[in-house]
């Protein structure tokens, strides 16, 4: 496993309404700092989550996989929070905002 030296990185607060966009921002930070290992990315994401989000995925955190931790957590968060296209268009129709 490649070794990574400690690098300071500050991720923005998790964006519940648009988790895919938040992950794009996080992955941009990882790319800029050459963070490539799965475990490192997993723990950066985990520490960036607020308490409410952690509670929603606590079962995953307690039973985390031994491999592909980052992608698995990403998939879980997106599945938990991503709104369907129907929900987005319905919300836009009702409020005039995305």
Question: Does a structural domain hold residue 27?
Answer: yes
Question: Does a structural domain hold residue 26?
Answer: yes
Question: What DSSP string runs through 52-74?
Answer: HHHHHTHHHHHT--SS-HHHHHH
**Residue 59 burial class via C-beta count within 10 angstroms: exposed 0-12, middle 13-18, buried 19 and up:** exposed
The pLDDT of residue 96: 60
Question: What DSSP string runs through 4-28?
Answer: -------PPPP-TT-HHHHHHHHHH
Q: How many domains does the chain have?
A: 1
Question: Does a structural domain hold residue 68?
Answer: yes
Question: Does a structural domain hold residue 7?
Answer: no
Q: How distant is the alpha carbon of residue 46 from its chain centre?
A: 8
Question: Does a structural domain hold residue 36?
Answer: yes
The pLDDT of residue 57: 94
Question: Does a structural domain hold residue 93?
Answer: no
The three-state secondary structure class of 41 is: helix
pLDDT digits (tens, 9 = 90+) for 6-28: 677 889 999 999 999 999 999 99
Q: Could you tell me what percent of the chain has a pLDDT over 90?
A: 70
The domain in which residue 76 lies consists of: 19-88
């Amino acid at each position: 496993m490649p070794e990574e030296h400690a690098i300071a990185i500050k991720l923005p607060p998790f964006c519940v309404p648009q988790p895919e966009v938040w992950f794009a921002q996080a992955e941009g930070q990882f790319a800029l700092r050459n963070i490539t290992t799965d475990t490192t990315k997993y723990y950066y994401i985990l520490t960036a989550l607020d308490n409410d989000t952690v509670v929603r995925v606590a079962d995953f955190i307690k039973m985390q996989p031994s491999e592909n931790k980052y992608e698995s957590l990403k998939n879980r968060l997106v599945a938990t929070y991503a709104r369907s296209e129907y929900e987005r268009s319905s919300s836009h129709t009702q409020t005039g905002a995305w």
